[in-house]
Each structure stands twice: as structure tokens, then as C-alpha cells.
Amino acid sequence: MGEDLIERLCTSIQNNESMLISDLMIFIEGVAQRSFPIDDIEKWLRCVHSNGISVDETTALTRGMMESGAVLEWQGTANVVDKHSTGGVGDKMSLILAPALAACGLRVPMLAGRGLGHTGGTIDKLEAIPGFNCNLTPLQMQAAVEQVGCCIAAQNDAIAPADGLLYAIRDVTNTVDSIPLITASIVSKKAAEGLNALVLDVKCGNAAFMKTEQEAVALAESMVGAAKGLGIDTVAQITDMNEPIGTHIGNSLEVLGSVYVLRGKGSTDTRDLVALQGGQLLALTGISSSLESGIKMILEVLGNGKALHCFIEMCVQQGTEREVAEQLALNPEHVLPKSEHITVLLAPETGYIQSIDAMALAEVARELGAGRFVMSDHINHSIGYVLESSRNQHLKKGQPWISVHHDHELSSQHLSRLRDALQIASEQPAEFQRLIRIIT
Ligand code: URA
């Protein structure tokens, strides 16, 4: 029976005909219940990966995967929102965005992942905070959001369980990079949060999974189409991921950088990107009349301490002792894990920073312990960088440009790769724009 079903599904895909939606639903249910042989699932995945499927089929697949597990339900006003980022270097937005949106009156039941490849993961960053528990059940997520307006929980098998198995098989069959499969995987989990609005940060460039703008736009259009097909008001922002985001990179250091921004200070690059994402969600839900006024609202709650207050309450709600959470807000350096050594690298010549290679920084940080190579690797939360400079800035020879936080001695190879990550030019380069375009 399973074999016939897979045969029918694959024949339709290969002949460029629509799959029978009822067959597709039986397939997804079988995947969620682990009742299909892995070989059959592999066959279907390879078929979708090689041939592609239509927008309607992608939406149906996404819906089926969403319905394969718990779907959060919300009472009252339509103000449940979230953001998904395709992953970057220094991408700490969720830690700031969730409490900032809660401070503006939105509800944010955020599901997040661990680091993937060279990119950091929100859950790994939050686990640098003493006591912070990301393992929430759907009921605990709902309770946390009703209590403090937001929560950030690790993806788990209660939500979209079909994705758990499909993703694991994609990973070992080289079928990860398929736009319909990525779309269904990401959007099904977001849709299961019971969202009214979603903003997608689709990154492109050297340190992103999508290297070109064209690839990023294709993924963004597919995800916006599927999410809208499920009734979620969605906008994608295509952003540049060649330069690292903000000043802090690495798990513990990104929490530190986030607290600075939540205190109304810190990196303007980070603050501007949070405001852009948050402003978009405020506009989509009608809390603000436009993107511009939404951006203003986010900047306001970052400046007046309301977002920081929601961050403290989120930490307490998720297991951190109140005293520790309050210390984290006041003196984050005293609460977060620290590396044994800090090595400061100096500019080799005078000039303007033409670029800082985010991918090179990420790869070295991963090798120093900030990321994983296999799922069972342990992360060292204290490893990372503080950038003392950014693209376009003028540097004098001998001026610090980056502090490397590490536990083991840096090898000459690591040092040379880090030094090569900085490109200095005599002419000032064109102004750097993080936002490339918006897809609605
Ligand atoms: N993240 C996901 O959750 N799924 C994908 O397919 C890719 C990235």
C-alpha cells in the first residue's frame, strides 16, 4: 500500500502532473507516525528534489506538515506574530525582537533552532544564560506567552513531527537544498504557532545559505506564497549577509550584545535590523499605520526600557532566577560565561574597511568551539568575537579591529585566516545597505 502510494506520488511529480492531495496527506501522516519505510521516504524526497513541485502542492505539503502535530490556538485579538531568519553570522535578532514586540503588545510564541553549519542558533545563544530552559511543551509556550507576551522555545517533535524525520533524511540524502522542501519545513513550524503575521529575513551573500540575490528571492517568494496560502500575512526582507551583523558574534557574546541593544545602546546595525523586522510585523498587524511608524515604536521600547523589562520577564518565565535575570540586564558581563583569553588584532595599515568576511569569522569561530560539526558536539558558549570596527569605517594602522575570545591558543593558521578576513582600501567604499529588497 505504502509502495503504491509512493509510486503514484512520484509518477505524478515526474510527469509534471499534480499529486493527489489525499495521497500527499496520507504520506505526510505516515511520515509523522513513522509508519513508512525510510527507503520510500528517501525516494519521494529525491523525486521532489530533482523535479520540484508546484506552488499549490508546496502549500498543501506545508499544511499537511503543520497539521501533523500540535497547532497552538489563541483567544482574542489577531496579534500573534513571529520572524524566521535563514541564518547568518551575528544574527541575534530573535533575542531582542521577541521581547521588543511583546513590549508593543504583540504575542510572540517563537520556535527556534540550534546552530546549522557555520551559522549560530538562537537556542544555543539562550542556553548561555544560566537557568534558561528552551524545552517548552506547546501548553507551556501558550502559558508563557499569555503571562509575559513572548517565549523562545526549541523546535521539538510535538510541533510538525513530519518535519523532524523528513529533515533528518534530507540531511543524509543531499536533498536539503530544495526550495519546496525548505519552504514546507520552515513555514509548517511557523504556521503551527498559530500566527497572524510573519516576517522572513532571507539572507543572501557569502555567509548565507543562499549565495545570490536571485536564489534568495526565489526562496522568499516560495515561503511568502506558502505562508499566505495558510492565511498568514507575510513579508520577506532580503538582507545582505556578507558583513557580520553588529558587533558581537558567538553565543554568550551575542547575548551580551543583545542586552546592550535592549538597554537602548549597543550596535546600530543590530538595532536597525531588529526595528526593520519588528516594524514590519507591527504594520502587518495594524498596530502601527506604516512600516516607518512601526520602526519608531520598536526604537521607542528599546530606548525606554520596556523591551528590556519583557526580556527579564521572559528569562524568569523560562527558568532563570529573578536575581540572575536582573543582574543579566544590569551587569551582563558578570552573569555570562567568559573565555579564558582575549586576543586583540590590529589594523595592518591605514585606510577604510572595505569588507569584513563574515564567513571566514564564522568558520574560525566554529573550529574554536563556538559551533558544531556533528550534532553530538558540545558548544563552548564563551567563544566568539567583539568587532571594534565595521565596513566603511576609517582605521589607523595599529588600531584594534577585532577581539577574539578563545580558550585554547590560536594557531598561526587561525590567526592568518582572521587577518585575511579584513580588507582595507584607500578609498571610502559605497555606503553599506543591509536591506536589499522586500517581497510581499
Ligand atoms: N531550517 C529548517 O527548519 N528547515 C530547512 O529545510 C532549512 C532550514
3-state secondary structure of 437: strand
Atom of ligand 1 nearest to the CA of 87: 8
Q: Where are the alpha helices (DSSP H) in 321-388?
A: 322-330, 332-335, 358-365
> Quick one: what percent of the chain has pLDDT higher than 70?
100
Q: By C-alpha distance, which of 333, 336, 340, 402 is closest to 368?
A: 340
Helix (H) / strand (E) element for 278: namely helix 268-284
Atom of ligand 1 nearest to the CA of 170: 6
Q: Are 47 and 13 in contact (CB under 8 A)?
A: yes
Residue 182 Cβ inside 6 Å of ligand 1? The answer reads: yes
Helix (H) / strand (E) element for 41: namely helix 38-51
Length of the chain in residues, anyone? 440
CA of 273 to the centre of ligand 1 (A): 22
- Name the residue with the closest Cα to ligand 1, atom 2: 186
Cell numbers found for residue 212:
545570490
Residue 186 Cβ inside 6 Å of ligand 1? The answer reads: yes
- Name the residue with the closest Cα to ligand 1, atom 3: 186
- φ, ψ dihedrals at 67, nearest 5°: -75, -5
CATH for 341-425, options being 1.10.490.10, 3.90.1170.30, 3.40.50.2300, 3.30.930.10: 3.90.1170.30
Sign, CA dihedral 215-122-272-268, equals: negative
Sign, CA dihedral 174-60-87-128, equals: negative
pLDDT digits 0-9 by tens, 430-439: 999 999 999 9
Does residue 352 or residue 176 have the better pLDDT? 352
**For residues 130-159, average pLDDT:** 96
Distance CA 60, CA 47 (A): 17
Domain parsing of the chain, residue ranges: 2-53, 81-330, 341-425
Is residue 422 very low, low, confident or very high in pLDDT (cuts 50, 70, 90)? Answer: very high
Q: Give the least confident one: 99-103, 161-165, 256-260, 350-354.
A: 161-165
Q: How far apart are the first and last CA of the chain?
A: 41
- φ, ψ dihedrals at 428, nearest 5°: -75, 125
> Quick one: what percent of the chain has pLDDT higher than 90?
91
- Name the residue with the closest Cα to ligand 1, atom 5: 182
* Residue 2 reports pLDDT greater than 80: no
Q: Do 341-425 and 81-330 fall under one CATH topology?
A: no
Q: By C-alpha distance, which of 228, 329, 337 is closest to 284?
A: 228
Q: Are 307 and 103 in contact (CB under 8 A)?
A: yes
Q: Are 237 and 204 in contact (CB under 8 A)?
A: no
- What is the pLDDT, as a whole number, of residue 375? 78
* Residue 174 reports pLDDT greater than 90: no
Is residue 148 very low, low, confident or very high in pLDDT (cuts 50, 70, 90)? Answer: very high
Contacts of 347 (CB under 8 A, 6+ apart): 389, 395, 396, 397, 398, 399, 400, 401, 422, 424
Atom of ligand 1 nearest to the CA of 113: 3
pLDDT digits 0-9 by tens, 380-405: 999 999 999 999 999 999 999 999 99
Distance CA 239, CA 216 (A): 9
Return the amino acid letter for 366: R
Burial class from Cβ neighbours inside 10 Å (0-12, 13-18, 19+) for residue 261 reads: buried
Q: What is the mean pLDDT of the chain?
A: 95
Specify the residue for cell string 485579538. Answer: 77
- What is the pLDDT, as a whole number, of residue 1? 57
Q: Which of 84, 157, 182, 189 to mutate to test the pocket of ligand 1 (most atoms within 8 A of CB)?
A: 182
Q: What is the pTM assigned to this prediction?
A: 0.95
Q: By C-alpha distance, which of 142, 179, 145 is closest to 50?
A: 179
Cell numbers found for residue 305:
526600557
pLDDT digits 0-9 by tens, 264-309: 999 999 999 999 999 999 999 999 999 999 999 999 999 999 999 9
Overall fold of domain 81-330 = Pyrimidine Nucleoside Phosphorylase; Chain A, domain 2 (3.40.1030)
* Per-residue 3-state assignment (H helix, E strand, C coil) for 73-125: CCCCCCCEEEEEECCCCCCCHHHHHHHHHHHCCCEEEEEECCCECCECCHHHH
Atom of ligand 1 nearest to the CA of 181: 6
Cell numbers found for residue 199:
516576517
- Name the residue with the closest Cα to ligand 1, atom 6: 182
Distance CA 114, CA 122 (A): 6
Q: By C-alpha distance, which of 87, 71, 69, 82 is closest to 165?
A: 69
pLDDT digits 0-9 by tens, 307-328: 999 999 999 999 999 999 999 9
